[in-house]
Structure 1
Amino acid sequence: MSVVCSICGEAHVKCAAVVDPNTKKFLEFSDGAFLDGLCENCGFVVLTDPEEVQTDIGKRYREHLASEKSEPRFAYCHIVRTDNYDGCEGQYIRLDGGPVDENDDRLIASCNGIEELKAMSVPSGDRDFTLVECQGFYTQRP
């Protein structure tokens, strides 16, 4: 997969780079160049690489299993709301398929396990957010 817009999922995006203005020679990407950029459809947005996010989720999941010796029930993630874009925000996602309390403003969704969590990293019109980074897993929600 490639770096895409976190809202529409299209790969028609651009990001910042360091260029020598005298020679027009590309030098390097700036810090955080792949974190945000310009989407032809959506304007300035957070960029994401779903494959990289999924790999990171798997790594953090295995680390949690090794240290806690139990399945996690929650993931704390950075998400981008696709229905009302305002950058990234931290939210919990329930992993055991349990209910989401509409009054809980820090629990955005529920899924049935790690594979469904990974699928949330691919922008989709079926959800009002895209998971762009997993910060960690928890047996109990802090």
Structure 2
Amino acid sequence: MLSKRIGNIIFAAFLILASLYFGWLAEGFETTGLLATSGLPSKFFPQLMLGCSAICAGIVIWHYVVHDQKQEFVFVTSSDARRGALILLVSIISYFIWRELGFVPMAVVFGPLSLLAMGIKQIGIYVIVWALSALIWVIFTFVLGVQLV
């Protein structure tokens, strides 16, 4: 089984790599919209947040390398590992649904599939998750004026 120490070090390293990659992508952002009136380039805030995330991930790696940890495992049982792998698969599938079909189809699919992967069987929780997805869509579409499609 994978220890929490090794798992967190690997995750933090991936987070640093992702932050570097997305920071590099943000270099291509142009100054438009609300940020143009502030005088700051639109790449400033994404790069600031990504930089903070990378620094925090570096601190986590340093903490796990320097301090000796007792041996705890990420997944105690094989069913926990299966649920974790299924959630990762659901997240990847949902990303591609969002990219190809838009937010609404992803929101309809992501919540229920995540709950199924976690083994949730109460119908009320499914209804609440769908209601929260609809609320997010309403807030972005009508309050913030962002079309999630």
TM-score, with normalisation over the residues of structure 2?
A: 0.24
Structure 1 or 2: more strand by fraction = 1
Structure 1 or 2: more helix by fraction = 2
TM-score, with normalisation over the residues of structure 1?
A: 0.25
Greater RCO, 1 or 2 (C-alpha within 8 Å, sep 6+) = 1
